[in-house]
Structure 1
Amino acid sequence: MASSAHALHILVKHLDKAEDILKQLKKGAKFQTLAKKYSTCPSGKKGGDLGEFRQGQMVPAFDKFVFKGEILTPTIVKTKFGYHIIKTLYRT
């Protein structure tokens, strides 16, 4: 089982905004561009890049998706912070 992963995310307050961003991604918009434009997380300035992190460092729902969900498929995950569009780049 992977012990670390590298992910990008975009954090927004409302589901409809998250769904709109996901639609834009599916039409070919660049993840980093949308993160800079919409994300309320400080990582948005870096294109949503969270870098590499260890399992257990993120809130449970986020952690679960990054370590068990699909790789390279942007997906909406709800946490206490709002709605994240998460794109897991790799796990090691």
Structure 2
Amino acid sequence: MAHTASALHILVKHKEQAEDIIKQLNKGAKFHVLAKKYSSCPSGKKGGSLGEFRKGTMVPQFDKVVFTKEVLTPHLVKTKFGWHVIKTLYRT
């Protein structure tokens, strides 16, 4: 069972925009470029990087995606902050 993970994310207000970002990523767009362009989170300036964090640090919906879904695949999740496109880089 993983205790820490590293992830990138892009935070936007609307589901349609998040879905469009995933389409762009699936067509080969670079995550860090889209994060700088669209993310409303301060991490956007760092290409969406959240660095390494422990399980339980993020809100539950976010944590669940990072610690259970496929790695290196963009996933969509809604939290109290908005819509996130999350890409988990690794788990340890």
Indicate the TM-score class for this superposition, using the shorter chain for normalisation: over 0.9
1:29-68 correspondence runs (5 A): 29-68=29-68
1:2-81 correspondence runs (5 A): 2-81=2-81
Give unpaired runs (5+ residues) of structure 1. Answer: none
Alignment partners' CA distance in 1, 2:52 and 2:77: 19
Compute the RMSD of aligned alpha carbons.
Answer: 0.3
Three-state SS of the structure 2 residue aligned to 1:52 is strand
Give unpaired runs (5+ residues) of structure 2. Answer: none
Q: Normalized against structure 1, the TM-score is what?
A: 0.99
Give the drift of 1:88: 0.1
Count matched residues.
92
Q: Which amino acid aligns with 1:76?
A: L
Measured against aligned partners, the alpha-carbon deviations of 1:24-44 in whole angstroms (never above 9, x if no partner) come to 000000000000000000000
1:80-91 correspondence runs (5 A): 80-91=80-91
State the 4+ residue runs in structure 1 displaced beyond 6 angstroms. none
Alignment partners' CA distance in 2, 1:21 and 1:2: 28
